[in-house]
Amino acid sequence: MIAPGQLSSTRAYTGRVISLDVDEVRFPDGSVGSLEMIRHPGASAVVPLLDADADDPMVLLIRQYRYAANGYLYEIPAGRLDAGESPLQCAHRELAEETGYRAERVEQLFTMFTTPGFTDEKIHLFLASGLTAGDSHREADEFMELVPTKLSRALSMIEQGEIQDAKTALALMYAAEFRLS
């Protein structure tokens, strides 16, 4: 039996954030087909805790305008990896750029595929503590406000559908269940 995998790839589009490839793929049953794949450099996201040792720590959420969502979403700080940048370096950078805070400790939680049906994007999730306030340096297309929120309230916001961003919901639930319990 021949192993599944890529047979060929043609770049259809290259943009600032993503690229689009059309791949010829051999599937596990031996058949062959074309798949459109969004290529993404990956990203890091951070659950920043102001008072990590508290029973109900304060998490720094961001309320950010997202064109694709046709409005504002509650999120944790996140952004794509720059060329040659490690996920940990990206986590520190994005935390500082979007919130103005610097972290004394940053611990990796886990890495996830965002939507593996059509993209290779991975997001590396981190937990940050020992925060010190500073100045933020947001990009020109980032419209956001900082929303410090008790973790218990953030979890309630997930349950009530107020937090709809998948990386944020998963990172908050993971941190609450496996790191802070």
Domain boundaries, the chain: 5-39, 43-179
Which pair of tokens denotes residue 180?
Answer: 């802070």
Number of Cβ atoms within 10 Å of the Cβ of 178: 11
pLDDT beneath 50: ranges in the chain: none
pTM: 0.92
Amino acid letter, 96:
A
The catalytically annotated residue of 97, 142, 159, 162 is 142
pLDDT digits 0-9 by tens, 124-154 = 999 999 999 887 776 767 788 999 999 999 9
How would DSSP label each residue in 93-161?
HHHHHHH--EEEEEEEEEEEES-TTTB--EEEEEEEEEEE-------TT--EEEEEEEHHHHHHHHHTT
Dihedral angle sign, alpha carbons of residues 20, 26, 27, 31:
positive
Assigned fold of 43-179: Nucleoside Triphosphate Pyrophosphohydrolase (3.90.79)
85 included as an active-site residue: no
